[in-house]
Structure 1
Amino acid sequence: MERRYFIKNTLASASFVGAGGLSLGSCSGEQKKHITILHTNDVHSHIDPFPSGHSRFPGLGGLARRAGLVNQIRKENPSTLLFDAGDIFQGTPYFNFYGGELEMKLMTLLNYDAGTIGNHEFDNGLDGLLAQLPYGKFDFVCSNYDFSNTIIDGFTKPYQTYIRDGIKIGVYGLGIELAGLVNKEMFKETLYLDPYDIASDLERQLKEEEKCDLVICLSHLGYQYENDQRPDDMTLATKTKHTDLIIGGHTHTFLDKPSVVTNAVERDILVNQVGCFGVRLGRIDFYFDADRMVADGVSIRV
């Protein structure tokens, strides 16, 4: 089924746990299928909530609270997917002691569908990453790191597809350049491939060959770099043709609502990121009928 893409630009902001409802007004009677995308990024091993006296995030976050919110949303809409845009590791003593095992096991308990690999996933080297990957019973999609000459070969996928309520969703992942950011000894023979070229190839494959109705990129490139030639999500969005949503990470950018960007074929797509440390949960709702797709997004404090 060929679909036009349409974004209803009335994006709401949610301030409290559980305030995830969206109002689509006149569109609500027309919609036949509803896909909810939930996402996190740069959680950095924050398992517990911040103390009530914390200067920036008083009482916010915590994996148990996130789990309750995710489960509530899944009850409201069983056609829900949960993704992470990288930097699962590093930031609290939980990582120092368990090396990432606890984070992977807890994400598995939350039934994450997929995540991509951030630069901090290399903090204990490829050996350390390999030791933890089996604890993550969800897909790792990473398209522009070539692991073929490393021990990680075969543990990641360039993309994955999911079907919810008859809607086919394709997901691919992009990582930031490691050279100059991560010690060479930590990533060894991992090759970095141009993310713009890889995105172009994979989004075409997902749309034209896999026949996906919705194409999502999990990116750890960073939201935007001013006066800088490094690849970022906002530039990536302008170069895409088939991607509908870019879920970002790395720059710890707090967006109250997704950015709307015009892509290479003059179609609006969404770019979103929810800061860091698990204090927010991103939510994008896609509504499908016979000839269009409507999207609304919020950032929910956890």
Structure 2
Amino acid sequence: MQEAWLMGLCLWAAVTAALVEATTFNLTILHVNDFHARYEETNVFSGRCSDEDKSKNKCYGGFARLKTAVDMERDKSPNVLYLSAGDYFQGTIWYTVHKWRAMAHFLRLVPHDAMSLGNHEFDDGLAGVVPFLKEVPFPVLASNLDDTLEPSIQGLYQRSTVITVGGRKVGIVGYLTTETMVIANPGLIDIGDEVVAVRKEARRLRREEGVDIIIALGHAGFAKDQQMALEVEEVDVVVGGHTNTFLYSGKDPSTEEKMGEYPSVVTQRSGRQVPVVQAYAFGKYLGKLELSFDERGELASWSGNPILLDGSIPQDESILKELVPFRQQLEDKMKQQIGRTFVFLDGNRQSCRLRECNLGNLETDAIVHENAKYPDDMKWAHTSLAVQNGGGIRASVSQMENNGKAPLCSSS
């Protein structure tokens, strides 16, 4: 009798475990943000990776290593989403020379399931982002844009997308910081409140498309990501960017100082808990968040950490070959000399972002000098004044290096 009872108990436990496994949905989210044109591997501070860095195996990131990491993670699990929270544009000579074209090319080779727009995607106006949107092979998202007065971009991005993963519908809703209207050049696009827009679209996905798992994917900063998690009841997880926030559980793996645990968890008024993640910046890390949902689509558990893309992860050979012709064009540009200095031109961020600096003076004087040649009623007045934001000055020029010669652009 006792043996029969034990056999029955074991059978019940096995059936129960099978039912739980059958109704549990596991999802892995891989994510990057604020890549900022780091096509090639970089040093520990996300600058140029020197020969010395390479010899010491101290290089990180780059598209070739990122592709390997994404492929490895996709092989481990059938239910994977690879997302970007925006700002692929701007940051290195690669963007200065190649603009949107190279980025669209490599994102076709290392494609996302979805991406949100970032403010830097609008740095060169609609002329810089519209052709990019036409070329990338995945949905680009932003739910809080009103493009009524800008027909050229209409239909090239979406408020949201629904992806079927492992038989489950997963909705992804995009959002973009309202600061874009001030710090970038989105033309006549009006950018509305991020939380209001995501809430409206998330409710539509639940009501009209039967989606019970919703990811908010956006570029508005960590504080806004947390607000999104707190105030939008329909959202299950928030994947963000813009503030380059480094979250990590455990000992910091490199030089970045962590701003909190990964994921950061926000508790809504109802008691629901919503994970919030970012993955620092510059492609140095690949965020990896593992989620488990119950049969109702409610988040039951989570775990994960950003993966440091260091030398332990090999670079994909096919991507390295694709980089060669683009790199050659950069080398040709870098050989062009545009001037020479006999003094140190201070472009240090601690100088130019806080006070007057001589490199800033040179830049603004040059702007005045050039524009004064072409006065008209619309673009130039009698007041000879130019303004340069301190954050746009990225590096110093030394009279001691290269005999004071200033190249058109540098590789760092």
TM-score of the aligned structures, taking structure 2 as reference length: 0.61
The CA deviation at 1:179 is 2.8
Cα separation, 2, equivalents of 1:55 and 1:137: 29
Question: In structure 2, what residue type is equivalent to 1:91?
Answer: G
3-state secondary structure, aligned to 2:21: coil
Partner of 2:95: 95
The CA deviation at 1:176 is 0.6
The CA deviation at 1:52 is 6.6
3-state secondary structure, aligned to 1:100: helix
Q: Which has the higher contact order (CA 8 A, sep 6+)?
A: 1
Partner of 1:115: 115
Alignment of 1:132-151 (within 5 A): 132-150=132-150, 151=152
Cα separation, 1, equivalents of 2:46 and 2:210: 47
The answer to whether the aligner puts 1:220 opposite 2:241 as a matched pair is no
The answer to whether the aligner puts 1:261 opposite 2:266 as a matched pair is yes
Partner of 2:189: 190
Question: In structure 2, what residue type is equivalent to 1:252?
Answer: N
The answer to whether the aligner puts 1:167 opposite 2:168 as a matched pair is yes
3-state secondary structure, aligned to 1:44: coil
Partner of 2:303: 296
The answer to whether the aligner puts 1:270 opposite 2:275 as a matched pair is yes
Instruction: Give deviations 1:176-197, integer Å, cap 9, x for gaps.
Output: 1123222xxx211101111111
Partner of 1:72: 72
Cα separation, 1, equivalents of 2:168 and 2:239: 19
Alignment of 1:8-87 (within 5 A): 30-32=20-22, 33-51=25-43, 58-87=58-87
Question: Is the Cα contact below 8 Å between 2:46 and 2:282 reproduced in 1?
Answer: no
Question: Cα distance 1:38–1:197, how it changes in 2: closer, same or farther (>3 A)?
Answer: same
Instruction: Give deviations 1:265-287, integer Å, cap 9, x for gaps.
Output: 32100110011100011111122
Instruction: Give deviations 1:38-91, integer Å, cap 9, x for gaps.
Output: 110000011111137978994111111111011011111132111100101001
Partner of 1:104: 104
Query: Which consecutive unaligned segments of at least 5 residues does structure 2 have?
Result: 1-16, 50-57, 249-261, 310-412
The 10-residue stretch of structure 1 (208-217 or 85-94) with the greater mean CA deviation from structure 2 = 208-217
Question: Cα distance 1:265–1:105, how it changes in 2: closer, same or farther (>3 A)?
Answer: farther
The answer to whether the aligner puts 1:179 opposite 2:181 as a matched pair is yes
Cα separation, 2, equivalents of 1:37 and 1:203: 19
Query: Which consecutive unaligned segments of at least 5 residues does structure 1 have?
Result: 1-26, 225-231
Question: Is the Cα contact below 8 Å between 1:113 and 1:138 reproduced in 2?
Answer: yes
The CA deviation at 1:29 is 9.8
Partner of 2:238: 246
The 10-residue stretch of structure 1 (164-173 or 197-206) with the greater mean CA deviation from structure 2 = 197-206
3-state secondary structure, aligned to 1:37: strand
Question: Is the Cα contact below 8 Å between 2:133 and 2:157 reproduced in 1?
Answer: no
Cα separation, 2, equivalents of 1:72 and 1:87: 24
Question: Is the Cα contact below 8 Å between 1:139 and 1:160 reproduced in 2?
Answer: yes
3-state secondary structure, aligned to 2:286: strand
Question: Cα distance 1:104–1:297, how it changes in 2: closer, same or farther (>3 A)?
Answer: same
Cα separation, 2, equivalents of 1:55 and 1:163: 38
Partner of 2:200: 201
Question: Cα distance 1:52–1:237, how it changes in 2: closer, same or farther (>3 A)?
Answer: closer
Question: Is the Cα contact below 8 Å between 1:44 and 1:90 reproduced in 2?
Answer: yes
Question: In structure 1, what residue type is equivalent to 2:199?
Answer: S
Partner of 1:283: 288
How much identity, in percent, do the aligned residues show?
Answer: 31
Question: Is the Cα contact below 8 Å between 2:86 and 2:116 reproduced in 1?
Answer: yes
Question: Is the Cα contact below 8 Å between 1:31 and 1:288 reproduced in 2?
Answer: no
3-state secondary structure, aligned to 2:188: coil
3-state secondary structure, aligned to 1:180: helix
Question: Is the Cα contact below 8 Å between 1:255 and 1:274 reproduced in 2?
Answer: yes
The CA deviation at 1:297 is 2.4
Higher strand share: 1
Question: Cα distance 1:36–1:233, how it changes in 2: closer, same or farther (>3 A)?
Answer: same
Higher alpha-carbon Rg: 2
Cα separation, 1, equivalents of 2:229 and 2:168: 22
RMSD: 2.2
The CA deviation at 1:102 is 1.4
The CA deviation at 1:201 is 0.8
Instruction: Give deviations 1:85-131, integer Å, cap 9, x for gaps.
Output: 01010011111111122122212211211101111001111011112
The CA deviation at 1:264 is 3.9
Higher helix share: 2
Question: In structure 2, what residue type is equivalent to 1:214?
Answer: I
Question: Cα distance 1:242–1:252, how it changes in 2: closer, same or farther (>3 A)?
Answer: same
Cα separation, 2, equivalents of 1:53 and 1:137: 31
